Amino acid sequence: MAEEVKLFRTWSSRYSLRIVWALKLKGIEYETIFEDLTNKSPSLLQYNPTHGKVPVLVHDGKPVCESLVILEYVDETWKHNPLLPQDPYEKSMARFWANFGDDKLMKSISQLFIAHEKDQDVAAVAALENLKIVEEQLKGKKFFHGETIGYLDLAFGWIANLVSILEEIMSLKLVDGERFPHLSSWIQHFIDAPVIRDCWPPRDKMIIKYQVMREKYLAAATPK
């Protein structure tokens, strides 16, 4: 019996990209449903009534929500080409770093992105500190788990794309080759990987989207 796999995503969602990559790595055929989050489909609201967010993976009619939860589901359901380490301790470390990426790192980079010029220096300190922590994790490794792409590369994948976009918009360099040799090298390997390469959202469209977003935040911030 053929399996039915659907992925609800948006064109730009970094979280959805994780699942696109995972399904590609596992060689799983699926149908893509692109959502407009300003006008959510009834299906999306039915499959994710709590948050109404993407990505949602629907496997034979059963919805799975939250990108990191979906990654584990994909890995447990299709066991070939494993994404996560088998050893419980290594697995817990992988999950720890994925959480760090989403909670601390992403937040600090977002804060920098929406900071007014006078607050940028302080915001940059936090972002750079967190990036340094990731840099340490990559020492002596091509990808986070070694020679091949795995869970943490997918979890951190957004760095390889979004950071340079934010750098261009803000005219600043966050991840430079001198301060972040391992992270810079990882970015290059990841961007060029065959499975990853063709999935990036159109860069010009991303620049416009994030530029508009930044302007909105800067305009909305209360003047002191």
- What is the closest distance, in whole angstroms, from the C-beta atom of residue 40 to another protein in the complex? 17
Question: Residue 8 is inside which H or E element, if any?
Answer: strand 5-9
- Of the pair 21, 47, the CB lying nearest another protein is at 47
CA distance 130 to 128: 5
- What is the closest distance, in whole angstroms, from the C-beta atom of residue 85 to another protein in the complex? 11
Residues 6+ apart with CB under 8 A from 95: 68
Q: Which residues of 52-79 are buried (b: 16+ CB within 10 A; e: fewer)?
A: ebbbbbbbeeebbbbbbebbbbbbeebe
- Of the pair 64, 106, the CB lying nearest another protein is at 64
Residues 6+ apart with CB under 8 A from 1: none
- Of the pair 38, 50, the CB lying nearest another protein is at 50
- What is the closest distance, in whole angstroms, from the C-beta atom of residue 125 to another protein in the complex? 16
Q: What are the start-end ranges of the H helices in 60-202? A: 67-77, 88-100, 106-113, 117-137, 151-170, 181-192, 194-197
Q: Edge-to-edge strands of the sheet including 31-34?
A: 31-34, 5-9, 56-59, 62-65
- What is the closest distance, in whole angstroms, from the C-beta atom of residue 65 to another protein in the complex? 6
- Of the pair 18, 59, the CB lying nearest another protein is at 59
- What is the closest distance, in whole angstroms, from the C-beta atom of residue 119 to another protein in the complex? 21
Q: Which residues bind another protein (CB under 8 A)?
A: 49-50, 59, 62, 64-66, 69-70, 72-73, 76-77, 88-89, 91-92, 95-96, 99-100, 104, 133
- Of the pair 88, 194, the CB lying nearest another protein is at 88
